[in-house]
Amino acid sequence: MDVLSKKENKLSFLPNFLMRGENRKLFVDWCSGLVAGFVSVTTCAPLDLARTRHMLLATTNSYGKVSYQGFLQTAKTIVKSEGIKGLYRGYNVTAVSIPLFHSLYFTIFYRMKRFLDTKKWIAEDQHLLTNIVASISTGFICDTLTCPLWVIRTRIQTQYLHIGQQQKYKGLVSGLRTMYREEGLRSFYKGLFASYVGLSHAAILYPLYEHIKEKMKAWKGKELSNIDVFTASFISKFVAMVITYPHVVIRARQQDQKNTFK
């Protein structure tokens, strides 16, 4: 029995329409993104919360609520004032938004690449350009679809910084209702343009990643090891993140909208 047959047997409990060629691949991509997103959310929730609050420190500190200095001190302050559960504030929304985003991204990305290859708009040997175009296009779609989730996630994570408004947004559905009632539908898309600017991340990441791999391969004179590939990935990701990070700060501050807490 070959590998494909074994996989099909493991997935035999699924409806027939999900087991048909393209549908099966779509389902696998969706589940892979969902699981990967959930694992990353659960593992990195305290880091994500600390980062978001640091980004808003300059705008929320005027309320005199708290002051953070570094991740460890931030974590200690949060635990002391809010308890251990404070490190996972907004986790329920994050556990929906990030896995959903990843599932959509992986699913759409591979089909976007296939679409571009089918239309022959980009030369067959230009794989790097195809990846960049597919990544930016996919990011545009996913950012647009999931923006309301990111807005309410940011507000739940940071509302503790605003005096007297710690419980304004209690959950995903009720939070979105509150936003709609008080600010209208446009509030769901605050910071969306900043997210679009952040799509330049892929335009920096992919070319730099390929360039570093080529240089490393020429220097070593042989195929790259897994460690070499990891190093190239780490360096390219770090550089792209440093260059494009300002859009993350801008987006968070637009989504937080301190004036809505007055």
Q: pLDDT by residue (tens digit) across 66-125? A: 567 777 888 888 888 888 888 888 888 888 888 888 788 878 888 888 888 887 777 766
Q: What is the pLDDT of residues 123-176, one digit of tens each?
A: 766 777 888 888 899 999 999 999 999 999 999 888 887 766 667 888 899 999
Q: What is the pLDDT of residues 185-201, one digit of tens each?
A: 999 999 999 999 999 98
The pLDDT of residue 65 is above 70: no
DSSP string, 78-146: HHHHH-GGGGGTTHHHHHHHHHHHHHHHHHHHHHHHHHHHHHT-S-TT-HHHHHHHHHHHHHHHHHHHH
| Domain annotation for the chain: domains and CATH numbers | 3-189 (1.50.40.10)
Q: In this structure, is the dihedral angle defined by the CA atoms of residues 156, 93, 51 and 44, taken in order, positive or negative?
A: positive
Nearest to 176 by CA among 165, 187, 167: 187
- Three-class secondary structure of residue 15 per DSSP: coil
- Residue whose entry in the numeric block shows the structure tokens 């090891």: 225
Per the structure block, which two tokens stand in for 111?
């089909």
Predicted structure pTM score: 0.76
Tell me which amino acid residue 226 is.
Answer: N
| 36: Cβ contacts below 8 Å, ≥ 6 apart | 99, 102
What's the whole-number average pLDDT of the chain? 80
Tell me how far apart the alpha carbons of residues 129 and 104 are, in angstroms, rounded to a whole number: 21
Which percentage of the chain shows pLDDT scores above 90? 24
Cβ 204 vs Cβ 190: under 8 Å = no
Q: What is the pLDDT of residues 204-224, one digit of tens each?
A: 888 888 889 888 888 888 888
